[in-house]
């Protein structure tokens, strides 16, 4: 094992003897006990641990096992440090595998017979121990071993994995039976150290007299080793509406809830066989388990009664589509929870564990999307990552109790809301380390955290993102670079081969004043606003308290600054106690002078709202410095074009410099990773170190790719994280090893139509291999274009007033609206402004929605309107024609109609995929089998638009060769784009659509019976989803 220091240290895995009675459930030291011990001092902590040792040793045989002398005294352990666990000594009952190898011509599954033979040759040994490097791929023999969690006392993290197999896991026979009353004594012995033991025993005892509860005893060699308690799901419709599940159960009453599922860790590798037998004997076809990851008390994850969730599949939550009619069909749970499920087919699928040590630095949207795809992506039914670590300053960006004003303070740019994060089981599948990375040691493959912690890695993923920084962020370095760029000073750097060369060092970070607020996440907002309230209360009677001469100052020209003002007003701060300083237009004369909304109407109304509220505003003012009084900012200095301004400051909210964190910047540059305005990456997110990857807004493509306009900061962060996860899965998934021989470049691995926001996401392996020419050259020698991402950029915020703002635009560099509207073929603009509620839609040349801008005085479901992007206006009942006929005077009202609710639901993407993938040559079979669902009792061929009309104008052979609807539509789109570029005189100047091509497309649509195909698919979709969506129910036939 590689150690970082030369001094002797105790190994993390110190196994002298393993007692046979450890088939019992081990007791966990709960957070409640630790917190009480910390409050009570060392004595309480020692008492808890002494009691724990007495309990754990009370059942041991004194002749065979005796307690070893502790290497460190428990009484001398500091209150905040994890104490040393009890050690055992005695006759050895375990053996270790030092070498395991098999000839490649033999199946690795035959290794199980070698393991059986090992136990037979060593009859006195009950345990087999094996230690593997974390980079070692999984192999079938590990299916009988339990992965042991390392015990860490020195602030270090091991880079090896320990596996232990019990003889019952190798040679024992598993069985499941109904619990009987005489089992209570054995179950009490098994659950001796389980959390909430008494509650579980009472639950088991009550199941004997209850018809709703079922208890099953899990046995190995007829010896009880676990217990499962089941109950029916109270409201299965609510569960299936909120999570990505089938809309209806297999049959009524077939959904079961696991109230408790406790199994000995030694037999845990065979959990799926126990679950399979439980499903066979129970009346349920699908089982669920829920866990509230941030709950406290008995509902906390530390005290959960489930040890078999690793063999279940986590279920991703649906992204809620706002408030609409479907809310009437179910009651949303008050507290979000993570959900797992298992059914009988899933128990037949073996689990493959990936022990590769993956360390992710930064809980940005890119990092969270990367982690979510690894945990809950398309490989989650059979692939589990057991060694993922997230390093972030505050852990996951969630809070237990969030102020309403804090939620309003942070604009929403993606799907990772506080509720969504609490519904994804991040904590269950990875270690979350609150800390700050300060150094990267590429040679030893480890990172150093502030405070001395060290974390090894096999793959390091940097998703640090960009945050609002201290006003003096890299002040000296940036000033020097500016002078060098302006050629006012000469470069005095020495070449690296010069003996006097010394690498550049980043200056130490300036300490933050007490009343400086930098808001970058919901955690920062909640902490900062609570701190502000405490400051107001503490300094209420002081001369430095909040008053008209000592105000709260908000500085910045971005949506975040306006959201901060709205949050302060929501918090109860009077408007005349707030000063807004706006550095617009930017001080840099080369920067675009465009407001942060890129819309003059929106900017004008927001500024008017601020003035009406009575907030003092300084425009065209630029921060120059401050004066400190102790640890607080007393005065702020600003400069305009004509004068200097000094303002007294109670609290300073700063929204100006946005860049990578200075600690991450220091660690990256000093480790030798290439940094050029961002961490330099290639087309596959790789850096100059093959073990280090980078993604998100903190990166920049290599200059040799000439892809500055396609930088990742211009695209949806969720898409980027999913693309990075797809590359990892393609590399680590053992079932995809054969595809690596094809030598695909990264852009060919990601499906073109993959989108995390639009709901048309395909498999991460959705590549096509039709062209052989791409494999003629190795990847390193052929041109690799950067990946393309198609999800829209979304900004949603609450502005002062309150005004509710939403903007959805196409990805890429944003073009100023004034410039964009002067360009040809910009399509149509649809705008309504009823009662001051501004709504603007922009259609492109193909009549697809590419821009949505909303500014309303009333709240509206922004999640619903986000689904409009990219769809053709014909989806919405010929929206353009109705608008031109002046039948629509309020787009808010139009998109809130009940018939629109189907398009907002996440399952609507399945309907669109079915229609797009419909083969035109199989139209007859589709209509014949599904059209009767509408209640039409006549055969399809006898109706007004019979099957004969489907083939009119095309011979049977021609129809068979047309392909899918999607391929035919793409051909029409391609022809339109060709005419736009080559025959501009034959097309309209407004949107560029050719009438001839439109007529030809309409003729094809009528020839193949497009309306009937869509109606057939729609009727089937409505029938499948009517249980979870009553408003979708089919009309009753008369």
**Per-domain residue ranges for the chain?**
20-170, 172-349, 516-659, 793-906, 909-1032
pLDDT of residue 960: 46
Report how far residue 8's alpha carbon sits from residue 638's, in angstroms, rounded to the nearest whole number.
Answer: 57
Across the range 578-596, mean pLDDT stands at 84
pLDDT of residue 968: 73
Q: How far apart are the first and last CA of the chain?
A: 77
Share of the chain above pLDDT 90, in %: 37
pLDDT digits (tens, 9 = 90+) for 938-994: 443 333 333 333 333 444 444 445 667 777 777 766 666 666 556 555 555 555 566
pLDDT of residue 555: 96
**pLDDT level of residue 1029 (50, 70, 90 thresholds):** low
pLDDT of residue 581: 95
pLDDT of residue 18: 47
**pLDDT level of residue 524 (50, 70, 90 thresholds):** very high
603-617, 694-708, 822-836, 898-912, range with the lowest pLDDT:
898-912
Q: Which residues sit opposite 455 in a β-bridge?
A: 447
pLDDT of residue 250: 75
Report how far residue 903's alpha carbon sits from residue 320's, in angstroms, rounded to the nearest whole number.
Answer: 13
pLDDT of residue 399: 86
**pLDDT level of residue 82 (50, 70, 90 thresholds):** low
Residue in the structure block whose two tokens are 């993407």: 909
Across the range 67-94, mean pLDDT stands at 55
pLDDT of residue 933: 37
pLDDT of residue 961: 54
Region 516-659: CATH code: 3.50.50.60
User: Count of alpha carbons within 13 Å of 334, Cβ hemisphere only?
Assistant: 1
**pLDDT level of residue 717 (50, 70, 90 thresholds):** very high
**Higher-confidence residue: 708 or 478?**
708
**Higher-confidence residue: 500 or 751?**
500
Asked if residue 67 has pLDDT above 60, the reply is no
Asked if residue 621 has pLDDT above 50, the reply is yes
pLDDT of residue 322: 47
Report how far residue 746's alpha carbon sits from residue 729's, in angstroms, rounded to the nearest whole number.
Answer: 12
Cβ–Cβ < 8 Å for 720, 693: no
Asked if residue 78 has pLDDT above 60, the reply is no
Cβ–Cβ < 8 Å for 786, 723: no
**pLDDT level of residue 687 (50, 70, 90 thresholds):** very high
**Higher-confidence residue: 979 or 251?**
251
pLDDT of residue 776: 42
Across the range 633-651, mean pLDDT stands at 92
**Higher-confidence residue: 331 or 508?**
508
Asked if residue 220 has pLDDT above 70, the reply is yes
Q: How many Cβ atoms are within 10 Å of 64's Cβ, its own excluded?
A: 13
Q: What tokens does 313 get?
A: 């599949």
Cβ–Cβ < 8 Å for 284, 252: no
pLDDT of residue 238: 80
Cα torsion 111, 113, 116, 121: sign: negative
Asked if residue 907 has pLDDT above 60, the reply is yes
DSSP-assigned states of every residue in 411-449? -B-SS--HHHHHTS-HHHHEEEEE--EEEEETTTTEEEE
Report how far residue 46's alpha carbon sits from residue 75's, in angstroms, rounded to the nearest whole number.
Answer: 6
30-34, 234-238, 865-869, range with the lowest pLDDT:
30-34
**pLDDT level of residue 616 (50, 70, 90 thresholds):** very high
Across the range 539-552, mean pLDDT stands at 87
pLDDT digits (tens, 9 = 90+) for 385-407: 989 999 999 989 888 888 999 99
**Higher-confidence residue: 961 or 141?**
141
pLDDT of residue 998: 72
- Most confident by average pLDDT, 87-101, 103-117, 182-196, 552-566: 552-566
Across the range 878-899, mean pLDDT stands at 90
CA 592-595-599 angle, to 5 degrees, is 115
Asked if residue 603 has pLDDT above 70, the reply is yes
Residue in the structure block whose two tokens are 């309409």: 1002
**pLDDT level of residue 764 (50, 70, 90 thresholds):** very low
Report how far residue 521's alpha carbon sits from residue 468's, in angstroms, rounded to the nearest whole number.
Answer: 10
pLDDT of residue 333: 55
Across the range 347-358, mean pLDDT stands at 89
**pLDDT level of residue 890 (50, 70, 90 thresholds):** very high
- What global pTM score does this model have? 0.83
- Angle, helix 365-376 to helix 717-732, in steps of 10 degrees: 40
Asked if residue 585 has pLDDT above 70, the reply is yes
**Higher-confidence residue: 506 or 585?**
585
Q: How many Cβ atoms are within 10 Å of 624's Cβ, its own excluded?
A: 13
446-449 vs 437-441, strand pairing mode: antiparallel
pLDDT digits (tens, 9 = 90+) for 465-497: 999 999 988 877 777 777 777 777 777 777 777
CATH 3.40.50.720 fits 172-349, yes or no: no
136-150, 188-202, 779-793, range with the lowest pLDDT:
779-793
pLDDT of residue 986: 53
Across the range 140-150, mean pLDDT stands at 87
DSSP state of 96: E
Asked if residue 41 has pLDDT above 70, the reply is no
Q: What is the mean pLDDT of the chain?
A: 78
**pLDDT level of residue 149 (50, 70, 90 thresholds):** confident
pLDDT of residue 782: 55
pLDDT of residue 962: 61
pLDDT of residue 994: 65
pLDDT of residue 928: 43
Q: What tokens does 599 get?
A: 């819309």
Asked if residue 59 has pLDDT above 50, the reply is no
**pLDDT level of residue 240 (50, 70, 90 thresholds):** confident
Q: Which residues sit opposite 833 in a β-bridge?
A: 838
pLDDT of residue 938: 40
Q: Would you report the helix, strand and coil content of the chain in percent, each value rounded to 5?
A: 35, 20, 45
**pLDDT level of residue 748 (50, 70, 90 thresholds):** low
Asked if residue 789 has pLDDT above 80, the reply is yes
Residue in the structure block whose two tokens are 């008492």: 47
Q: Max Cα separation, the chain?
A: 100
Cβ–Cβ < 8 Å for 811, 715: yes
Compute the residue count for the chain. 1038
pLDDT of residue 199: 84
Residue in the structure block whose two tokens are 């011979």: 955
Q: Residue 161: name the closest of 127, 190, 192, 131 by CA.
A: 131
Asked if residue 196 has pLDDT above 90, the reply is no
φ/ψ region of 451 (left if φ > 0, alpha if ψ in -120 to 50, else beta) reads left
What does each C-alpha distance from 512 to 467, 469, 531 come to in angstroms? 15, 10, 14
pLDDT of residue 441: 94
Residue in the structure block whose two tokens are 């003996």: 499
pLDDT of residue 297: 60
Which strand (E) or helix (H) includes residue 894?
A: helix 891-894
**pLDDT level of residue 362 (50, 70, 90 thresholds):** very high
CA 923-924-925 angle, to 5 degrees, is 95
352-366, 870-884, 986-1000, range with the lowest pLDDT:
986-1000
């Amino acid at each position: 094992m590689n150690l970082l220091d030369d001094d002797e240290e105790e190994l993390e895995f110190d196994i002298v003897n393993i007692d046979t009675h450890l088939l019992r459930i081990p007791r966990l030291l709960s957070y409640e006990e630790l917190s009480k011990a910390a409050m009570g001092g060392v004595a309480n902590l020692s008492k808890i641990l002494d009691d724990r040792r007495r309990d754990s040793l009370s059942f041991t045989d004194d002749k065979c096992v005796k307690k070893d002398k502790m290497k460190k005294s428990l009484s001398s352990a500091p209150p905040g440090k994890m104490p040393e666990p009890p050690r055992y000594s005695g006759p050895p009952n375990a053996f270790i595998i030092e070498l395991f190898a098999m000839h490649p011509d033999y199946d690795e599954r035959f290794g199980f017979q070698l393991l059986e033979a090992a136990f037979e040759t060593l009859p006195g040994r009950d345990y087999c121990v094996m230690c593997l490097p974390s980079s070692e791929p999984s192999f079938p023999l590990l299916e009988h071993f339990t992965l042991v969690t390392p015990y860490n006392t020195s602030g270090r993290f091991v880079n090896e994995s320990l596996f232990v197999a019990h003889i019952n896991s190798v040679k024992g026979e598993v069985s499941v039976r109904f619990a009987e009353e005489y089992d209570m004594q054995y179950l009490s012995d098994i659950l001796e150290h389980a959390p909430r033991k008494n509650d579980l025993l009472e639950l088991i005892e009550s199941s004997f007299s209850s018809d709703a509860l079922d208890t099953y005893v899990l046995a190995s060699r007829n010896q009880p080793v676990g217990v499962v308690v089941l109950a029916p799901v109270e409201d299965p419709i609510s569960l299936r509406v909120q999570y990505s599940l089938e809309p209806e159960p297999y049959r009524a009453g077939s959904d079961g809830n696991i109230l408790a599922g406790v199994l000995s860790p030694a037999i845990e590798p065979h959990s799926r066989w126990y679950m399979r037998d439980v499903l066979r004997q129970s009346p349920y076809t699908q089982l669920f388990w829920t866990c509230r990851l941030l709950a406290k008390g008995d509902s906390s994850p530390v005290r959960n009664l489930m040890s078999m969730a690793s063999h279940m599949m986590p279920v991703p939550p649906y992204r809620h589509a706002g408030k609409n009619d479907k809310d009437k069909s179910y009651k949303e749970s008050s507290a979000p929870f993570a959900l797992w499920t298992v059914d009988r087919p899933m128990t037949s699928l073996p689990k493959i564990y990936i022990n590769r040590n993956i360390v992710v630095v930064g809980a940005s949207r890119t990092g969270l999307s990367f982690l979510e795809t690894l945990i809950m992506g398309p490989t989650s039914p059979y692939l589990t990552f057991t060694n993922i670590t997230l390093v972030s300053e505050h852990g996951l960006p969630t809070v237990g109790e969030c102020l309403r004003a804090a939620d309003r303070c942070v604009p929403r740019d993606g799907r990772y809301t506080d509720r969504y994060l609490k519904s994804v089981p991040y904590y269950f599948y990875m270690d979350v380390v609150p800390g700050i990375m300060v150094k990267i040691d590429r040679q030893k493959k480890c990172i150093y955290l502030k405070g001395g912690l060290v974390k090894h890695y096999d793959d390091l993923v940097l998703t640090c993102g960009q945050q609002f920084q201290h006003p003096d962020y890299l002040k000296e370095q940036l000033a020097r670079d500016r002078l060098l760029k302006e050629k006012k000073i000469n470069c005095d750097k020495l070449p690296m081969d010069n003996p006097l060369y010394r690498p550049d060092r980043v200056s130490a970070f300036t300490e933050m004043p007490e009343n400086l607020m930098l808001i970058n996440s919901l955690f920062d907002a909640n902490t900062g606003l609570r701190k502000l309230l405490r400051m107001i209360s503490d300094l209420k009677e002081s001369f430095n308290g909040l008053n008209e001469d000592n105000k709260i100052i908000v500085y910045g020209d971005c949506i975040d600054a306006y959201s901060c003002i709205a949050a302060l007003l929501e918090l109860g701060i009077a408007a005349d106690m707030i000063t807004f300083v706006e550095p617009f237009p930017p001080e840099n004369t080369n920067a675009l002078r465009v407001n942060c909304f890129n819309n003059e109407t929106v900017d004008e109304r927001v500024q008017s709202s601020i003035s009406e509220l009575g907030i003092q505003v300084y425009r065209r003012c630029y921060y120059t410095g401050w004066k400190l009084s102790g640890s607080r900012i007393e005065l702020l200095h600003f400069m305009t074009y004509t004068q200097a301004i000094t303002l007294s400051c109670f609290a300073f909210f700063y929204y100006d410099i946005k860049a990578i964190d200075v600690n991450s910047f220091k660690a990256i540059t000093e480790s030798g990773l290439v940094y050029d305005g961002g961490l330099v990456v290639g087309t596959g997110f790789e850096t100059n170190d093959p073990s280090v990857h980078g993604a998100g807004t903190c990166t920049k493509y290599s200059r040799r790719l000439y892809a500055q306009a396609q930088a990742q900061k211009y695209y949806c962060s969720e898409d980027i994280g999913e693309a990075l996860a797809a590359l990892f899965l393609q590399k680590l998934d053992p079932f995809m090893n054969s595809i690596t021989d094809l030598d695909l470049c990264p852009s060919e691995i990601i499906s073109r139509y993959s989108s995390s926001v639009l709901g048309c996401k395909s498999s991460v392996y959705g590549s096509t291999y039709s062209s052989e020419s791409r494999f003629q050259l190795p990847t390193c020698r052929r041109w690799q274009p950067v990946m393309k991402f198609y999800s829209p950029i979304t900004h949603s915020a609450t502005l002062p007033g309150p005004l509710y703002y939403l903007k959805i635009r196409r990805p890429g560099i944003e073009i100023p609206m004034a410039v964009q509207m002067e360009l040809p073929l910009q399509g149509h603009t649809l705008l309504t402004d009823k009662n001051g509620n501004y709504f603007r839609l922009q259609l492109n040349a193909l009549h697809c929605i590419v821009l949505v801008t909303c500014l309303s005085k009333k709240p509206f479901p922004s999640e619903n309107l986000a689904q409009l992007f990219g769809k053709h206006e014909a989806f919405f009942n010929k929206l353009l024609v109705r608008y031109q006929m002046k039948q629509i005077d309020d787009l808010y009202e139009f998109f809130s109609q009940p018939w629109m609710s189907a398009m907002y639901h996440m399952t609507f993407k399945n309907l669109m995929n079915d229609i797009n993938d419909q083969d035109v040559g199989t139209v007859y079979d589709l209509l014949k089998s599904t059209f009767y669902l509408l209640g039409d009792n006549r055969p399809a061929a006898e109706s007004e638009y019979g099957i004969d009309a489907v083939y009119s104008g095309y011979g049977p052979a021609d129809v068979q060769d047309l392909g899918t609807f999607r391929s035919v539509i793409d051909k029409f789109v391609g022809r339109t784009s060709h005419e736009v570029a080559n025959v501009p005189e034959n097309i309209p100047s407004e949107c560029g659509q050719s009438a001839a091509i439109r007529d030809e497309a309409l003729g094809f649509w009528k020839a193949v019976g497009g309306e009937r195909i869509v109606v057939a698919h729609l009727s089937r979709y409505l029938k499948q989803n009517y249980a979870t969506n009553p408003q979708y129910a089919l009309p009753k036939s008369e």
